[in-house]
Amino acid sequence: MRITCVGGGPAGLYFAVLAKLADPGHEVTVLERNPRGTTYGWGVVFWDDLLDDLFAYDPVSAGQIWEAACQWDEYEVRATGKEVTHLAGYGFSLGRHKLLSLLESRALSLGVDVRWSASEADIPDSDLIVAADGAGSSLRALDASHFGTSVEMGGNKYIWLGTSHVFRTFTFGFERTPAGWIWFHAYPFDDTTSTFIVECTPTTWAALELDRLDAEAGCARLETIFAAHLDGQRLVDHRADSGGTGWMNFRRVTNQRWDNGNVVLMGDAAHTTHYAIGSGTKLALQDAMALADALSSGGPLAAALERYEHRRRAALAPLQRAALASSEWFERMPDYAGLPSIRFSYALSDRRGEYPLWRYLLHRATQQAVPRAMLRWALNARRWTRARRRPGAAPSAPSARAAPLPTGG
């Protein structure tokens, strides 16, 4: 089969890898519009469920991702005028740049023809064309009415920055300014860098003049606002030299149909999920797994594409609901600002409003050092046990890139 993936993001590259693993005779091409080594964004987070899947589908790339990832052991919540509180839960993070370079190397080693600085205009004769060209997919736009594409804009403004301050763990920080609340989602993803996503309402954004400042001046203003969290380190906009990353509104993309003849949508081109639940990359990779499975089961292409879409829509639905509830919580964030510290961080963690009472009681209890350490120990034991079950995986955790967790507080 001749397969072309338009877009060399996680979806396109990983599907290319799986297609080659399924049948080395497939001719697989990836067309990426950017030059090699160029991408947007900083680190992304993921959890055990993705690692389980990655090890099941390709232990080689999974092992490399596992080795390169950074682990964090809890969430810290800071807000002006409130005590620092903690939310239980661990996860992993990895630079998007590193993830793509690992997937590229794996694809090339399997004989995938990866072409950079190439786009949909360069598609060779193909039996299957995978539109993995992201939320703003050009390939999808060629036939937007067939796909039934809808794009809804989120209310808040955000910008995806990085910083050389290595946060100890996943941290939400909320600052009250005279113009209103502004906050960040930050986490370490290697020895030297953390992701730093800043968000606020459009009113606060305009009042802080973030709509008018260029990339450098905008970063400088944010460094001043968040000085208490950055330990003197800079915020970095890696597009500062070319006009800046720019403030965005999250685009919630949905499509009524995912295929059109031999063209099929995958990853963000098919659906986006708000960054507040950190799942878009996972969903893109799992789309690739589902399409690889659907094709491997044989039969006509149209039936395989239907199986793929059916399976993925069912899997996506709960996460999309969670993402929507999560983004709406952040749009209403100023309404929660008056809550006392522990209730505020609990409201943040229970953004869907579905937790039973015992979760609140546990949350209260684990603000104390000893119960918190015990819960962290139990979660780590569970993580270790789960890691041991993965085929070909070393049971040890990825190297702890972030500063070690304190024993008290």
Q: Is 267 among the residues that bind ligand FAD (CB under 6 A)?
A: yes
Nearer to ligand FAD, 210 or 284 (CB): 284
Nearer to ligand FAD, 311 or 364 (CB): 311
What is the smallest separation between the CB atom of 187 and ligand FAD, expressed in angstroms? 8
**What number of CA atoms fall less than 13 Å from residue 148's CA on the CB side?**
6
Of the candidates 91, 95, 154, 280, which one interacts with ligand FAD according to CB under 6 A? Answer: 280
Among candidate residues 223, 189, 207, the one with its CA nearest the CA of residue 96: 189
Q: Is 254 among the residues that bind ligand FAD (CB under 6 A)?
A: no
Of the candidates 29, 169, 245, 279, which one interacts with ligand FAD according to CB under 6 A? Answer: 279
Number of residues that bind ligand FAD (CB under 6 A): 33
Q: Is 244 among the residues that bind ligand FAD (CB under 6 A)?
A: no
Q: Which stretch binds ligand FAD (CB under 6 A): 44-52, 65-73, 200-208, 368-376?
A: 44-52
Nearer to ligand FAD, 188 or 278 (CB): 278
Burial track 291-303 (b if 16+ CB lie within 10 A, e otherwise): bbbbbeeeeebee
Q: Is 284 among the residues that bind ligand FAD (CB under 6 A)?
A: yes
CA separation, residue 346 to residues 351, 356, 362 (Å): 8, 12, 10
Q: Between 154 and 173, how does the x/- string for binding to ligand FAD read (CB under 6 A)?
A: ------x-------------
Q: Is 6 among the residues that bind ligand FAD (CB under 6 A)?
A: yes
Of the candidates 45, 235, 319, 323, which one interacts with ligand FAD according to CB under 6 A? Answer: 45
CB-based contact 350:187 (threshold 8 Å) = no
Q: Is 7 among the residues that bind ligand FAD (CB under 6 A)?
A: yes
Nearer to ligand FAD, 82 or 288 (CB): 288
What is the smallest separation between the CB atom of 190 and ligand FAD, expressed in angstroms? 14
Q: Is 186 among the residues that bind ligand FAD (CB under 6 A)?
A: no
Q: Is 312 among the residues that bind ligand FAD (CB under 6 A)?
A: no
Nearer to ligand FAD, 62 or 284 (CB): 284
What is the smallest separation between the CB atom of 42 and ligand FAD, expressed in angstroms? 8
Name the phi and psi angles at 199, rounded to 5. -145, 150
Q: Which stretch binds ligand FAD (CB under 6 A): 61-69, 214-222, 279-287, 376-384?
A: 279-287
Q: Which stretch binds ligand FAD (CB under 6 A): 40-48, 253-261, 314-322, 367-375?
A: 40-48
CB-based contact 86:74 (threshold 8 Å) = yes
Of the candidates 1, 21, 22, 34, which one interacts with ligand FAD according to CB under 6 A? Answer: 34
Nearer to ligand FAD, 119 or 380 (CB): 119
What is the smallest separation between the CB atom of 45 and ligand FAD, expressed in angstroms? 4
Q: Is 230 among the residues that bind ligand FAD (CB under 6 A)?
A: no
Of the candidates 17, 32, 205, 348, which one interacts with ligand FAD according to CB under 6 A? Answer: 32
Q: Which stretch binds ligand FAD (CB under 6 A): 7-15, 58-66, 360-368, 400-408?
A: 7-15
Residues 92-151 that bind ligand FAD (CB under 6 A): 119-120, 132-134, 138
Burial track 79-113 (b if 16+ CB lie within 10 A, e otherwise): beebeebbbbebbbbbbbbbbbbbbbebbeebebe
- The residues that touch ligand FAD, with contacts defined as CB under 6 A, are 6-12, 31-34, 39, 41, 44-46, 119-120, 132-134, 138, 160, 197, 267-268, 275, 278-282, 284
